[in-house]
Amino acid sequence: MEILYASCVGLLVSCGVFLILRSRTFPVVLGLTMLSYAVNLFLFSSGRLSLNKAAVLGTGTEYADPLPQAFVLTAIVIGFAMTAFVVILAIRGRADLGNDHVDGELSDKDNKAKV
């Protein structure tokens, strides 16, 4: 299962990075979200994979590592705050600048295409 897990993380990183490299804000936001999934899963994996060993005392004899879980939990919430901020920034940027290009202005090529 380790191979499967690692491949999923890798694929999420690939998809996230590709989306982040796009030129419009919305795909970049999606890319960030995707990358956050990957990073959270990666962080989580530092506690290794374990089935049916939730870190609730009294439910078994062995427990999953609770520390990465606690970190990832806060990371998920912070990740939400970041995504929200970036997407609102994108809206504000589009309202103020008139386009949703990540650089705030259309490149020369786009301008030529428009003309």
Partner 1 sequence: MTLLWIPLLSLLGSIISSTTGKLSRNQSTALTLLTPIIALAFAISLAPAVFAGDVIRQTISWIPLLGIDIAFRLDGLALLFVFMILGIGILVIFYARYYLSSNDSMPKLYAYLMLFMTAMLGIVMSNNVIQLWFFWELTSISSFLLISYWWHKAEARKGAIMALAITGGGGLALLAGLLLLGNIVGSYNLDIILASKEIIQAHAWYEITLILILLGAFTKSAQFPFHFWLPHAMAAPTPVSAYLHSATMVKAGIFLLARFYPALAGTELWFLLVSLTGLSTLLFGAYIALFKHDLKGLLAYSTISHLGLITLLLGLDTQLATVAAIFHIINHATFKASLFMATGIIDHETGTRDMRKLNGMWRFMPYTATLAMVAAASMAGVPLLNGFLSKEMFFAETLHQQLLGSMSWLIPVLATVAGALAVAYSARFIHDVFFNGDPIDLPKQPSEPPRYMRVPIEILVALCLIVGIFPNFVVDDILRAASFAVIGGYVPEYKVALWHGFNLPLLMSAIAVTGGILLYSQRRYLYQYQASLPTLDAKKLFDGTIYVVTKWCQRKISAIENGSLQRYLMLMFAIVLILAGGPLFEMSQLGGQKQPTPIDVHNAVGAALLMIGAISTVIWHRSRVISLLMISVVGLMVSVAFTRLSAPDLALTQLTVEVVTIVLLMLALFFLPQRSPKESSSIHVLRDLGVSAALGIVVSSVCYALLTRPLESISDFFLANAKTGGGGTNVVNVILVDFRGFDTLGEIIVLGIAALGIAKLLANLPLIMPSTDSEGRSWAKERYPILLASISQSLLPLALMVSFYIFLRGHNLPGGGFIAGLVTAIAFILQYIAHGSNWIAERLTINYRKIIASGIIIALFTGVGSWFFERPFMTTWFDYFDIPFIGEIELASALVFDLGVYLTVVGATLMILASLGQLTANAPKEGVHV
Cβ distance to partner 1 smaller for residue 70 or 115? 70
Least distance in angstroms from the C-beta of 81 to partner 1: 4
Q: Report, in Å, the least distance between residue 113 CB and partner 1.
A: 9
Give the shortest CB-90-to-partner 1 separation in angstroms. Answer: 7
| Packing angle, helices 25-45 and 2-20, rounded to 10 | 160
C-alpha dihedral (68, 70, 75, 78), degrees to nearest 10 = -170
Token digits of residue 100? 């949703």
